[in-house]
Chain A
């Protein structure tokens, strides 16, 4: 242990602790900007400077490890003046059109400016001299360099969490900026649109591209029938932007709020998550049969899940030779979109050209996914507009809904029913667990051998998880799997996905089935989720997801009555011709820069 004094109070902390962490432990607040719990120390913004007795200069609390006998003062006049100047210098190069900014009131730089209560500043405003550019090329997010303070949270996110480094620091001095390769438009580079950088940007330099106005226009167009679907992870995080603590489930209130916003039908992506399990589970079993019984050497195993559009784009850019290993299943969002303008339109007797299909997602990559040219199998754009969890919270506020005090409500029927298996899609390991619950039962006729259906080995926050399920008691059709060991792996965060891909590429991966989610923690930690997101918040949301699952009556996808009905009335069988037309897709190879 190391003994030191902060603001004249004694404290003992383990060796290697930073001054910032030690102060936090004592409930002493030191402001930060470039620092983020999920990322390595950068120490570049200098907002966290403190005074150390005997030191020549101020030190950055985030980067300085404690040492024996240190005497730190966090709030002297010298410190306050330095911080004020640091914030003023950042502001001198930052376009401060705060009232018109998408991040107004949600900006960490603005909060600091507020704390230091500026009047006149002694520094020149350099914004006009910089000729900043705004990149709107991605359908998912906007990169506005005039708001950037070069804290490099985005750069660290893209490199440390996602192993992509689509953006890096370029040039130097006054010309330093955050650039893609050769300053190409973000839509032309290796960016997966995951939005993890958007979630971590302290200012308005990286924000989601919002479609709120388009959705309001559709809602108020009397000619349009507007359907909305909500992803599993939204219900356990939306509350955070509306005054609730992380991990509160607000499913029923969210449904009611969506109805009050004016959506004609409030439906659930969970329905198509269950459908995904039927399609993807069947696809896996067919691949296994081809490989094991027919001895077909061309079968691509392991099979990878395909729900996460960030992961899809990652593999398209970085490992295109493994595209055949991806399940051909569309994501639940896109399955829903394709069915909304076909099956749903038919059932409700609505002209599909009059349907506007909106989805609420924890994700910015879903905006890109909805724009993919492959995603028009209904004959229209299957999903018209994608909103993030954050955008839905904004709409609820715009509509003046008293979220805390509204009643809970239930989803509409026809594509509104769901199971616990679908809910857990929102957490890393969830798709795997849901698939196992169903596939195991199809093959053996009885439930997975885990207490209360909770397949705990595939749960939790480990970056790469592995599990082996021994298959016993097969029904006649699947006798060839008797005694077989199904090997699965799960990765979340693309840095972990890359670890698995390296094994696969080296021919050293023993797996049959691999689940990958682009974001840390899975969708609960998605780029479109409330800000901040960090490990503790992800854990709270994850606990809420599993609690939601436990509270469902039905917890296996194949028992979803809407799913049973849609196969009977419309799709016939999993992987049928009709299914392939509407629910399956293909992928494209992309450049790796």
Chain B
């Protein structure tokens, strides 16, 4: 859990408190904390004077507005057809072996979460994954080992 009250106020001041600020505010929280806690969504509802269920409804619609606890680095591996044909399964296998977690899980040290995502628009350089905002493309198991080792040293 993280403290979010001040951040929500700052974001609301920046974007305004009308209904159409909901998305940028939620994105702002995720940018900072990687996911939305219940507390964060309740704060947003209070600032914008809308219902918390509505905030949750919006957040749950978008894959990138996570409502589950996630690690510092969220690895999203594309699950759609091109990446599958170009070797996604080996990539996932490599990631799972390295991180000792399955898809959908977070490492015990809260550093990495591994999830699948819909198409991220890198079909021409498949298979692809995102780590937080950064895309990694034309992946091979060897490349993945290098990338993840880099993050582990950060």
Mark A residues whose CB is within 8 Å of B.
Answer: 159, 164-172, 179-182, 189-190, 592-593
Q: How far is the CA of A180 from the CA of B60 in the complex (A)?
A: 12
**Which 10 A-B pairs have CB atoms at the shortest separation, nearest pair first?**
A165-B51, A168-B57, A593-B52, A168-B53, A181-B52, A170-B60, A181-B53, A170-B57, A168-B54, A171-B60
Contact of A593 among B45, B57, B61, B67 (CB under 8 A): B45
Least CB distance, B81 to chain A, in whole angstroms: 16
Do the beta carbons of B51 and A166 come within 8 Å of each other?
yes
**Contact B50 A181, beta carbon cutoff 8 Å:** no
B59 closest partner in A (C-beta): A170
A170-B61, A179-B60, A182-B67 given as contacts; is B42 within 8 A of A165 (CB)?
no
Q: In the bound complex, how far is the Cα of B42 from the Cα of A592, in angstroms?
A: 8
Partner of B52, one of A159, A169, A171, A190: A190
Asked if A592 and B61 sit within 8 Å, CB to CB, the answer is no
B56, A182: Cβ atoms closer than 8 Å: yes
Instruction: Show 20 A/B contacts (Cβ-Cβ < 8 Å), sorted by A.
Output: A164-B51, A168-B51, A168-B56, A169-B57, A170-B60, A170-B61, A171-B60, A172-B61, A179-B56, A181-B38, A181-B51, A181-B52, A181-B53, A181-B55, A181-B56, A182-B56, A190-B52, A592-B42, A593-B41, A593-B51
Other contacts beyond A165-B54, A166-B53, A593-B45: 17, CB < 8 A: A165-B50, A168-B53, A169-B57, A169-B61, A170-B57, A170-B61, A171-B60, A180-B53, A181-B41, A181-B52, A181-B53, A181-B56, A182-B52, A190-B51, A190-B53, A592-B46, A593-B51
B45-86 CB mask vs A (1 if < 8 Å, else 0) is 110001111111100110000010000000000000000000
CB nearest neighbor in B for A189: B53
The answer to whether A179 and B41 have CB atoms under 8 Å apart is: no
In the assembled complex, how far is the CB of residue B22 from the closest CB belonging to chain A, in whole angstroms?
12
A182 to B54, CA, bound (A): 10
* Nearest CB in chain B: distance from A266 CB, A: 41
Q: Are A593 and B42 in contact (CB under 8 A)?
A: yes
**B20 shortest CB reach to chain A, Å:** 17
B53 with A167: CB separation less than 8 A: yes
A171-B61 contact in complex given A593-B42, A593-B45, C-beta closer than 8 Å: yes
Give the Cβ gap from B36 to chain A, nearest Cβ, in Å: 10
Shortest Cβ gap from A148 to chain B (Å)? 15
Cα of A170 to Cα of B56 in the assembled complex, Å: 7
Which residues of A have CB within 8 Å of B57? 168-170, 179
A-B pairs with CB below 8 Å: how many?
57
A residues less than 8 Å from B55 (CB atoms): 181
**Residues on B with beta carbons closer than 8 Å to the beta carbon of A189:** 52-53
Give A171 to B56 CA distance when docked, in angstroms.
Answer: 9
Q: Give the docked Cα–Cα distance between A169 and B61 (Å).
A: 9
Which chain B residue lies CB-closest to A591? Answer: B42
Which B103-140 residues have a C-beta within 8 angstroms of A?
A: none
Does B61 contact A165, Cβ atoms closer than 8 Å? Answer: no
In the complex the two chains form, what is the Cα distance from A84 to B104 in whole Å?
Answer: 39
Q: How far is the CB of B80 from chain A (nearest CB, A)?
A: 14
Nearest CB in chain B: distance from A185 CB, A:
13
* 8 A Cβ contacts from B21-49 to A: 38, 41-42, 45-46
Chain B residues with CB under 8 Å of A169's CB are 57, 61
Please tell me if the beta carbons of A165 and B60 are within 8 angstroms of each other in the complex: no
B60–A592 CB distance below 8 A: no
Pairwise interchain contact A182-B46, C-beta atoms closer than 8 A: no
B37 to chain A, nearest CB (A): 9
Please name all residues of chain A whose beta carbon is closer than 8 Å to the beta carbon of B51 when the two chains form the complex. 159, 164-166, 168, 181, 190, 593
Instruction: Kindly state the separation between the CA atoms of A179 and B51 in the bound complex, as whole angstroms.
Output: 12
A295 → chain B closest CB, angstroms = 35
> How many angstroms from the CA of A410 to the CA of B52 in the assembled complex?
49
B116 to chain A, nearest CB (A): 14
* Interchain CB contact under 8 A, B50 and A182: no
Using Cβ atoms and an 8 Å threshold, which residues of chain A touch B50? 165
A179–B53 alpha-carbon span in the complex (Å): 7
Cα-based distance from A331 to B67 in the complex (angstroms): 40
Q: How far is the CA of A592 from the CA of B61 in the complex (A)?
A: 22
Specify the chain A residue showing the minimal Cβ separation from B45. Answer: A593
Q: How far is the CA of A496 from the CA of B22 in the complex (A)?
A: 25
Q: Kindly provide the distance from the CB of B82 to the nearest chain A CB, expressed in whole angstroms.
A: 20
B41-A182 in contact (CB<8A): yes
Q: Which of A167, A171, A190 has the most CB of B within 10 A?
A: A171
Chain A CB within 10 Å, residue with most, of B45, B50, B53: B53
- Once bound together, how far apart are the Cα atoms of A190 and B50, in whole Å? 12
- Which of B45, B46, B55, B56 is most buried by chain A, counting CB atoms within 10 A of its CB? B56
Give min CB distance, A154 to chain B, whole Å.
11
Instruction: Tell me whether A592 and B52 are in contact in the complex, defined as CB-CB below 8 angstroms, given that A171-B61, A182-B41, A182-B67 are known contacts.
Output: yes
B66 to chain A, nearest CB (A): 13
- Closest beta carbon of chain A to B41's beta carbon, Å: 7
Q: Which residues of A contact B67 (CB under 8 A)?
A: 182
Give bound CA distance, A169 to B55, whole Å: 10
Distance of B130 from chain A, by nearest CB (Å): 20
Given the complex of chains A and B, what is the CA–CA distance between A87 and B84 in angstroms? 34
Question: In whole Å, how far is A135's beta carbon from the nearest beta carbon of chain B?
Answer: 13
Chain A residue at minimal CB-CB distance from B46: A592
Q: Least Cβ distance of A132 to chain B in Å? A: 16
Q: In the docked arrangement, what's the CA distance between A445 and B134, Å? A: 81
Chain B residues within an 8 Å CB radius of A165: 50-51, 53-54
Residue of A nearest to B42 (CB): A593
Of B45, B46, B60, the most chain A CB neighbours within 10 A belong to B60
B55 to A, closest residue via Cβ: A181
Q: What chain A residues lie within 8 Å of B42 (beta carbons)?
A: 181, 592-593
A221 to chain B, nearest CB (A): 42
Beta-carbon nearest neighbor of A180 in chain B: B53
Contacts of B38 in A (CB 8 A): 181-182, 593
Nearest residue (CB) in B for A170 is B60
| Chain B nearest Cβ from A501, distance in angstroms | 12
Distance to closest chain B CB from A42 (angstroms): 15
- The answer for the CA separation of A165 and B58 in the assembled complex, in Å, is 13
In the complex, residue of chain B having the shortest beta-carbon distance to the beta carbon of A169 = B57
Q: Select from chain A the residue with minimum beta-carbon distance to B37.
A: A182
Find chain A residues with CB under 8 A from B53 CB.
165-168, 179-181, 189-190, 593
CA distance A324 to B38 in the complex (A): 30
CA distance A165 to B51 in the complex (A): 6
Chain B residues, CB < 8 A from A170: 56-57, 60-61
- Closest-CB distance, B34 to chain A (whole angstroms): 17
